[in-house]
């Protein structure tokens, strides 16, 4: 999984019918190395908010978070890193 910081909401009125009601957010990778600063769009269903540092799961495993294997989603928030957790 990746560590990322949620930096904004993303709105897409026209989208796959199956994605209606899901919350899309822009996340920025905060892990070190060459991926640092890379941005991606993630689905959040555990009420994460802008500014939160989160754990993002990608690929087919992301669908496991949403309980529906038919969703066209490849990145989801699976955890919110504790505020007092210093790491790295």
Provide the binding-site residues for a copy of itself, judged by CB under 8 A. 1-3, 7-16, 18-19, 24, 26, 28-29, 31-42, 46, 55, 57-65, 69-76, 78-82, 85, 87-88
Question: Least distance (Å) from a copy of itself to the CB of residue 51?
Answer: 14
- What is the H or E stretch that residue 65 is in? helix 60-66
CB of 5 to a copy of itself, least distance (A): 12
Shorter beta-carbon distance to a copy of itself: residue 2 or 51: 2
Nearest CB to a copy of itself, comparing residues 26 and 51: 26
DSSP-assigned beta bridge partners for residue 28: 5, 39
Burial class, 66, CB count within 10 angstroms (exposed 0-12 / middle 13-18 / buried 19+): middle
27 in Cβ contact with 40 (< 8 Å): yes
């Amino acid at each position: 999984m990746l560590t990322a910081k949620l930096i904004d909401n993303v709105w897409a009125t026209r989208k796959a019918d199956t994605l209606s009601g899901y919350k899309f957010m822009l996340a920025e990778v905060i892990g070190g190395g060459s991926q640092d600063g890379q941005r991606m769009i993630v689905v959040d269903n555990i009420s994460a908010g802008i500014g939160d540092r989160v754990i993002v799961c990608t690929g087919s495993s992301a669908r496991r978070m949403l309980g529906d294997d038919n969703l066209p989603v490849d990145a989801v928030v699976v955890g919110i890193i504790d505020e007092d957790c210093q790491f790295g």
